[in-house]
Amino acid sequence: MQQIHNAFDMPWKIKNKIHQITILPWVRLQFALNGIHWGQNWRFYGLPIIQKHRKSIMRFGAALELRSSVRANPLGANHPVILCTWQDGALLGVGDHFGMTGGSIIAAERITIGNNVIVGANSTIMDTDFHSVCPEVRSQHPQNAKTAPVLIEDDVFIGMNCLILKGVKIGHGAVIGAGSVVIKDVPSGMIMAGNPAQVVRKISKLTL
């Protein structure tokens, strides 16, 4: 009965559900063509974009939920979720119960994400600078950039429009405030926010 009331009060969710069902075969085909093992209880709202290097690895745990349609979240995805392994040998590994709206994850070396991680709308996680800061190197070797692994531990929440840069470790249960640029490690159980992100306070049961 509660589901019927919810459908009446929020009819756009019915359209989202229909869209989810109709695109599922295309999503499965996309993952299969990229050699990515299909997991349990995956849900997709809109088609993600997969850019997988043939000599790289992408793996995802159970209950993956990606929202690539602008209608799938009131915050509005600027573009479909982009999952990219940029170079030979790159690894993108994601645990169970991962959710993301829009945004990008780009692994040139290694990005590891734990269980129960939520990434807000239009955030980007990347382990590479893409291009060198040196003009000479950039002109002669455009893709010769610094990389460093990114590790996001369990139960992390990343707000919308965040940028997580190379070499960062985000500790268990940490929260990243909306619009933050994270360039250094985030301690477990802490809220960090700003550009560059700084510790705001420790999370407690009284934290709203």
- Choosing from 97, 131, 141, 172, the catalytic residue is 131
The pair of structure tokens assigned to 78 is 């600027």
Q: For residue 66, which of 94, 31, 30, 102 has the smallest C-alpha distance?
A: 102
- How many CA atoms lie less than 13 Å away from 181 in the CB half-sphere? 2
Length of the chain: 208
Task: Answer for the pair 60, 48: CB distance below 8 angstroms, yes or no.
Answer: no
131 is catalytic: yes
Q: Strand 175-176: give its sheet, edge to edge.
A: 43-45, 65-67, 99-101, 118-119, 157-158, 175-176, 190-194, 197-202
Active-site amino acid positions: 131
